[in-house]
Each structure stands twice: as C-alpha cells, then as structure tokens.
Structure 1
C-alpha cells in the first residue's frame, strides 16, 4: 500500500483534480517527452555517432598504406626553434616502381638520407597516419558521448524554454483570475 501512495503522488498531474489546469497537464507531458528524448535520443545519437566514427577510422586504417621513404632534406635548421616535428621533403617509391617526392611532417633532428615511414593513400599521395585501434576507439567514444550530451542539452534547453512559456501563461491566468476574485474577498483592514 505504501508503494501505491508513492505512485499516486508521482502521477498526480494526470489524475482528475479540480485544481489541475491545462498547462499542468501540458507540463507533465512535456517533462515525460523531454526525458524520453534524453534517454532514447541521447543514447541513440551517441551510439550512431560512435559507430560512424569507428567505421571512418577503420576505413582510414584500411586505405592508408605505410611506405618506406627517404628524407631529401634535413629537419634541423640552424637558428630555428626546436620543435617536435618539422616539415621536410621526402622521396618514396610506389609499388609500380615509380618514384614520388613531397613534403610531410617528420621528427626533428633527422639528416637527409634517413629512412622513415610515411603513409600514402591508394593513389600514392602522401596522407596522414591513420589512428591506431585504441586511439580510434577512444576518439569514437568521445564523439559518441559528445553527441549524446548534445542531444541531451538540446532537449533540456527546449524543455526549459517550453516550461518558461507555460509559466508565463499560468502567471497571466492567475493575474486575471485574481483581478476577478480579489475584490470579492471582502474588506480591507486598517
């Protein structure tokens, strides 16, 4: 019986009540819809986004090929600031035997003629290194969480805006009803 009381209290906005207004019912449904959107929509957006990101990262790992390359220029420049990576010219050979050159970021401190690994796309053009499986999983999780939180934020914001509009409408109605009932309440003291 105690659980029945709690359920009745929780569902008070839907039961018959002479003091219940149309706006109260709208607000109850609004809260239900907002929380449903948060639970279902936020979860769905997060899962779909994480899955899509994971697919893109898997495709990048499949399409980008590691290729042995040779540095054409040094990565140390006299008088320059010491950075972790520097832009340098590299040369690599494609599987068909043709040779290509291009500029890419490589570790600093390497001399011309050093052997490095670069990544190319299927056309043999330089590309960035694809994310590792663990890095891709982490980034997909972050993107999925961000998408879920974005849907949650939008739902909460839209719900709050709708509740503000309902409150303004209730205040106007209370003001007009008080203007009609207030003078009938009798005498003034003093």
Structure 2
C-alpha cells in the first residue's frame, strides 16, 4: 500500500512535472470506471424495475377472482363479531369451477368456524390455477422500485469491483517501477562533486 498525502480534489487531472504515464492511465481508468458504474447501475435498475412493474401489471389484468365454496367446515369457532382478524383466519379446502369448466380445489384462508358451502373468493390465473391476490398499482410501483434498486446496486458493483482490482494492479506496478528507479538512482545521491 502506498503512502498517501492530503486529499487534493482532481489531482489526477492537474499538471505536474512529476506525473508519470501510470498516473495518467490511472486517471482515465478512474473516470471510465465511475462512468461505467453509474451507467450500468442506472440501466440495470431501470430495466429490472420496468420488467417487474410490467409483470405485475400483467398479473392484475390476467388474474381473476372467482367464487369458491368451502368443501368442509373451517376449523375453529366462529366469533359473534362480524369483523374477523387475520389471527382468526384458518386454512380450509374450497372448490371452484375454472373458466374452462374444469373443477378445481385448493387451500384458502377463511374465517375460523365458517360453514361448509360458504362462499369465499379465490384468485386464479388464465389457466385456472390458484394464485395469490394481485398487488395494487401502488404496491407494484414500490416493489418494482425496490427490486430495481437492488438490481442497480448489484449491476453497479461489477464494474466498481473490477475497477478497484485494476487500480490495485496499476498501483503495484507503479510501486515496482519506483523501486527499480530508486535502486538505480538512489546510490548516486551519496556522491558529491569534488
């Protein structure tokens, strides 16, 4: 690891008679890596975000609610209160007819103690398979932004890590060059003209 002096902004781009070719190469590498990091992060984030939002919008269009009937009495006891909390909901088997006319069945969350034959809502895809309730447009936007943000960060990490590795190699090479020059010119400093 090289010794570093005080931070000077844009030092790589300033004129300096001591600046070597390796310093100029490193300046362009840093600029290229940061540009590539930002572009990769933005492009990955926006494309993944759009893809997720489009997929969730497609689900909202294609998935349909159907009325299903409970095949059995739901476990637990029914409460007198008409509002049932999530904690008072249990899994029970329900049956329904898909859009193509086929009979289907599956497990649904229903109020505890619901009677057999009670109507419940089941969400199905275009092929009649049971799915979860589709997310709303605002929930889809939040989910797309979060997933897109993570994808953007992961995409930006690739050129950033590669750039750090390249800069490390350049620095090792520069240190080796300094060592070679020091070995060549260092002994001359002890001579005096006389």
| Structure-2-length-normalised TM-score | 0.78
Q: Is 1:169 matched with 2:168?
A: no
Is residue 159 from structure 1 mapped to residue 163 from structure 2 by the alignment?
A: yes
In structure 1, the residue matched to 2:3 is none
The answer for unaligned runs of 5 or more in structure 1 is 1-8
| Alpha-carbon distance in structure 1 between the residues aligned to 2:130 and 2:62 | 12
Structure 1 residues 153 and 75 mapped into 2: Cα distance closer, same or farther (>3 Å)? farther
- Report the Cα offset of residue 117 of structure 1: 0.8
Superposition RMSD in Å? 2.6
Between stretches 68-77 and 170-179, larger displacement belongs to 68-77
- Give the 5 Å matches for 1:75-114: 75-76=74-75, 86-95=90-99, 98=101, 100-107=103-110, 109-111=112-114, 112-114=116-118
Is 1:13 the equivalent of 2:16?
no
Secondary structure in 2 aligned to 1:13? helix
Distance between the aligned counterparts of 1:29 and 1:93, measured in 2? 65
CA distance in structure 2 between the aligned counterparts of 1:176 and 1:84, rounded to whole angstroms: 78
> 1:49 aligns to what?
48
- With normalisation by structure 1, the TM-score equals 0.79
Per-residue CA deviation, residues 92-117 of structure 1 (Å, 9 max, x unaligned), is 13346x35232233145142322211
Corresponding residue number in structure 1 for 2:137: 133
User: What runs of 5+ residues in structure 2 fail to find an aligned partner?
Assistant: 1-8, 78-85
Residues 74 and 111, structure 2, Cα contact 8 Å, conserved in 1? yes
SS in 2 for 1:130: coil
| Aligned length in residues | 174
